[in-house]
Amino acid sequence: MSKHLRKQLCPFHIRKKTTTPMYKIVSAQLLAENIKKIEIEAPRIAKKRKAGQFVMLRVEPNGERIPLTIAGSDPEKGTVMLIVQGMGKSTRALNLKEVGDTIADIVGPLGTPSHIENFGTAVSIGGGVGTAIAYPTAVALKDAGNYVITINGARSKELVILENEMKAVSDEAYITTDDGSYGFHGFVTQKLQELIDSDKKIDFVLAIGPIPMMKAVADVTRPYNIKTVVSLNPIMVDGTGMCGGCRVTVNNEVKFACVDGPEFDAHLVDFKNLSDRNKHYLPQEKSSLEAFAEHKCHLQQSL
């Protein structure tokens, strides 16, 4: 609608913007193609966050709120670390940020922290950028005295992230690649099955990654009755429990992933419903990304 119409219809309309606080990026490093490690100044979150929690952030003032799991923090420096894979418009825009840039908003830590105890032998499985989300929990599992095995899966060698970090917290660390270009040739589930078949006693499995991967891990561990936890990634808006956009079905009950989760018992999750619900805005996401890509293209031409 035109500004003219706006003014005509609403004589008292005042167009004054209030200033919003901005959050500074203190380090930014590309880990793999399209995957960036970003450290943001957010002292309260850095001080408070626990493994398994996430933040909601907006890149620009007209941006959407997106959830991202906290990969690490430095309470002294007052920074939180995020590992971001450029998928749609907002994550790509975030990935274009460099040191000294700011983002409009970041809020957290949100969600219920991971339930950590000494289970015995714990296997932490990360698929793709899910590895970054699994990392803090792997650290916490190690700290709690578990024998930690990590399986870090990627499509190919160039996409393997956090290899050294994972090795440092693991008693056994495995890399798998779908194309066999590095480490074990195959899926994370095949490696897990191999471990189970080798009669290794596994007490706990944490799996974080794409929905089909988490579902497949749940299917592998179910017959052996191995306690398995997944971190769900539904669409979120506020991230504080006020809208239910992130609702998931767990054990035939409706749960809000942002408050009750994001971690749930993998054997009780309705993955089909989660996967369907995540398709809600596909056409809009696609058009938004296309418009952004085109805009960036023009920007580069004009430089």
Annotation: binding site for FAD: 83-85
Minimum CB distance to another protein, residue 73 (Å): 13
Q: How many Cα atoms within 13 Å fall on the side-chain side of residue 43?
A: 2
Minimum CB distance to another protein, residue 228 (Å): 22
Annotation: binding site: 83-85, 243, 246, 258
Beta carbon nearer to another protein, 125 or 250: 250
| Token pair in block for residue 45 | 């979150």
Minimum CB distance to another protein, residue 298 (Å): 16
- Indicate the pairing of strand 204-208 with strand 121-127: parallel
Question: How far, CA to CA in Å, does 23 sit from each of 78, 160, 174?
Answer: 12, 29, 36
DSSP three-state, residue 164: helix
Strands (DSSP E) found in 135-237: 147-154, 172-177, 184-185, 204-208, 227-231
Beta carbon nearer to another protein, 26 or 289: 289
Radius of gyration of the chain (CA): 21
Minimum CB distance to another protein, residue 71 (Å): 18
Q: How many Cα atoms within 13 Å fall on the side-chain side of residue 66?
A: 23
| Token pair in block for residue 151 | 């399986």
Annotation: binding site for [2Fe-2S] cluster: 243, 246, 258
Residue with tokens 């936890």: 229
Beta carbon nearer to another protein, 168 or 291: 291
Minimum CB distance to another protein, residue 61 (Å): 9
Residues in contact with another protein by the rule CB under 8 A: 1, 5-6, 9-16, 18, 20-21, 44-45, 48, 58, 60, 62-65, 89-90, 104-110, 237-238, 240-245, 247, 249, 254, 259, 273, 276-277, 279-281, 283-285, 287-288, 291
Q: How many CB atoms lie within 10 A of CB 104?
A: 16
Beta carbon nearer to another protein, 15 or 298: 15
Beta carbon nearer to another protein, 156 or 287: 287
